Structure 1
Amino acid sequence: MRRMQKLAVLGALMLSGAAHAQSSVELYGIIDTGVMYVSNVGGHSNWLADPGTAAPNLFGLRGTEDLGGGLKAVFKLEGMFSLNNGASVNGLFGHETYVGLRDDRWGTLTAGNQIDFMFYSLVVDRWGPAFPFVSSLSLRQGSFAGLNIPNGPPGNGSFDFDRTLGAPIPNSVKYLSPTIAGLQVGAQYSFGGQAGSFGQNSGQSFGVNYHIGTVALNGAYTYVKYPELNHGNDGIRNMGAGASWVVGPAELAALYTNTENTENGARVAVYEADVTWTFSPFVHANLAYQFMKGNETLKNQKAHQETLSVMYSLSKRTSIYSGIALQQASGGPAWISLVPGPASGGSQVTGNIGLLHVF
């Protein structure tokens, strides 16, 4: 764990140990499991334990301390784990860790291992009330291994290529403004730590959120340089814009993202539209369509995907869900997110049923 992550964890633990009447510390998490069927993985159908398609399995600690005058100290320690074998993902608190200050008038400043604005602006803020009901089967995948994105699953160079799952940037300082007249902006910078080269292995991210009535407009930009790409002088550049509109029981949403490897020039554009329908306070459904297109470096590979998910809430904390996704690809094999491998051809179908508990 790098120095800034250590400082974030140490600061958070000090805050939690000093909790008093004007402070709060919360333990929270998500447990998600089920069964998944896949029509074609390397030419064979398969049944497997669901890897958590409604939400990632995670746990964490978060808290605040009131410092007076509207100023608060804040912290988060959050990690992901596999429910099937209990192993942590990227370390005990490898998902997001930070410590910082929040002021009602001036905004929030934090430091640590922090998720960027491709997730917080284009996913969490854009979807808003619909966010809990969208299946992770809609995350980006497909036959775009030529993107060569580092730090992903072994042998999979395009998993979550536009960072809509929520990928942390280490050693980063992040600022988020208060919301003024519906407008909120944010900026994040990651220090590469390379002597003699300020920008090497660095990262940056920016986000903007604007709400007017039931309409949300969002934009984000993230550029992270990796040691594996031109010795830390190149990286993966993401940008995107999206919108959502709540109309009665429906939420309509659209999103465009563009992902580029600046070392080899590989680039993928994604166009997505979806609708979330509230049938009752207990039943929600989401229908999504996405079109993914690679550039000439990726041999103009294309993929269409349709995803339908339904969630039934048994209580405020526990839900059952089911989902189905179909992807049709050309120029390479189909590969739906969270499925363990690509199809032997241009079509892949997966379906699942699961149980989700939030605490």
Structure 2
Amino acid sequence: MMGMKETVVNIKRYGMLISLALAANAHAQSSVEIYGIIDTGVMYVSNVGGHSNWLADPGTAAPNLFGFRGTEDLGGGLKAIFKLEGMFNMNNGASINGLFGHETYVGLRDDKWGTLTAGNQIDFMFYSLVVDHWGPAFPFVSSVSLRQGSFSGLNIPGPPGNNSFDFDRALGVPIGNSVKYVSPTIAGLSVGAQYSFGGQPGAFGQDSGKSFGINYHIGTVALNGAYTFVKYPEINNGNDGIRNMGLAASWVVGPVELATMYTNTQNTANGARVAVYEGDVTWTVSPFLHANIAYQYMKGNDVLKNQKANQETVSLTYSLSKRTSLYSNLVFQQASGGPAWILMAPGQASGGRQTVANFGLLHVF
């Protein structure tokens, strides 16, 4: 009987050792990363309702965010992946749009077949026309230089009192309840598609969304396209929404990147539409200093009373290390047919001119 007990104990011991070895092996093939962006600074706005204003922590370079992302190697080139990402207010630490309201998903990535994910996911107006389009220049393009104006007739659901905030989704806006596929890159070409389920019984398309992206790289040239159409419950009971499309190109020539972009945003219920034409240059002055100069021409259609806006932005970024940078932006906007309003400014101007100047510190971890 003692021999039998010893055998059982040994079997259990060996089984435990095997389990520990398998767990250690699985751990070695998996990874979880904590990451984030902390951005703080001071902003001066020349005209907000007729008065100048100073702001702390406007988040002009990039949103303040933190998250977790991870992979697990399943073998044969297949990996399980996940991402949990949220934004927060630097002034009071409060979460924005919930703890992980910026982007969350889980899915599978295969070296040969591409990536399939499901969750609350940012669409291709951001990933194709911003991230892939700017490529190496992306970290040096400030959020304050993106699209904004007093095109309130677009009636985009979002921040209270601002119906044209980030109207072409270049800042990165998630689409809930969505399934997304991104192909592998083959001969410089990759494509993607995303669909959001509206969840309305008997009305499959109501409150739904869809997005498509295409990216093509040949040498140092990048060509990009994107389309996104999101239906909102606030617009014709979810049967209409905001349609965005855009084309972009960039070319890296030595220390300089030349880029151009066109976007078109339309409310399918009332016909309001804004077109944006943009050109910018990013110059690597030294390994530590980068400069970005951008120009935008924004034009509304007759539903928006042909409102127009011209915007010029100069951004400087000085890297103190791989993770920490100092930045400064100077932005001018001149509008006609409506008041000026620069993205990240707390309100629209009393007239057709608004200026923003800021200085800040950015840390990435």
User: TM-score, structure 1 length as denominator?
Assistant: 0.94
CA distance in 2, matches of 1:36, 1:224: 32
Counterpart in the other structure of 2:68? 61
Asked if 1:358 corresponds to 2:359, the answer is no
Contact map agreement 1:19 1:25 (CA 8 A) in 2: no
Within the alignment, does 1:174 sit opposite 2:180 as a pair? yes
Equivalent residue for 1:287?
A: 293
- Once the two structures are aligned, what percentage of the paired residues are identical? 83
2: distance between equivalents of 1:84 and 1:295? 39
Structure 2 residue corresponding to 1:116, chosen from 112, 118, 123? 123
SS in 1 for 2:206: coil
2:275 corresponds to which of 269, 278, 283:
269
- Counterpart secondary structure, 2:133: helix
Counterpart AA for 1:144: F
Which stretch of structure 1 is more off in the superposition, 208-217 or 39-48?
39-48
User: For residues 143-190 of structure 1, what are the alpha-carbon distances to aligned partners after superposition, in whole Å with 9 as ceiling and x for unaligned?
Assistant: 10110001x211000000000000000000000000000000000000
Q: 1:244 aligns with which of 240, 244, 250?
A: 250
RMSD value over aligned CA atoms? 0.8
Residue 160 of structure 1 is matched in structure 2 by 166
Structure 1 residue 19: Cα displacement: 6.7
> Equivalent residue of 2:28, what SS?
coil
Per-residue CA deviations over 1:63-117 (Å, capped at 9, x if unaligned) read 0000000000000000001101111110000000000000000000000000000
Distance 1:351 1:264 in 2: 35
In structure 1, the gaps of 5 or more residues are 1-17
On the 8 A contact 2:250/2:257 being kept in 1, the answer is yes
Q: What is the correspondence of 1:45-194 to structure 2 with a 5 Å cutoff? A: 45-150=52-157, 152-194=158-200
Question: In the comparison of the two structures, how many residue pairs are matched?
Answer: 341
TM-score (norm 2): 0.93
2:308 corresponds to 1:302? yes
**Whole-angstrom distance in 2 between the partners of 1:48 and 1:107:** 43
Aligned to 1:260: 266
What are the Cα deviations for residues 271-323 of structure 1, in whole angstroms up to 9, with x where unaligned? 00000000111000000000000000000000000000000000000000000
Give SS of 1:20's match. helix
Shift of 1:50: 3.0
1:94 match: secondary structure? coil
Per-residue CA distance 1:229-288 (angstroms, 9 max, x = gap): 000000000000000000011000000000000011000000000000001110000000
2:233 paired with 1:218: no
**8 Å Cα contact 2:284-2:290 kept in structure 1:** yes
Moved more, 95-104 or 131-140: 131-140
Residues 5-84 of structure 1 aligned to structure 2 (within 5 Å): 20-84=27-91
Equivalent residue number for residue 5 of structure 1 = none
In structure 2, the partner of 1:3 is none
Structure 1 stretches of 4+ with a deviation exceeding 4 A read none
Which residue of 2 is the match for residue 207 of structure 1? 213
Q: 1:342 aligns with which of 332, 337, 348?
A: 348
Q: Distance in 2 between matches of 1:39 and 1:85?
A: 25
C-alpha distance in structure 2 between counterparts of 1:358 and 1:148, whole Å: 34
Counterpart Cα distance in 2 of 1:133 and 1:306: 16
Aligned mates of 1:320, 1:52 — CA distance in 2: 13
Letter in 1 for 2:51: H
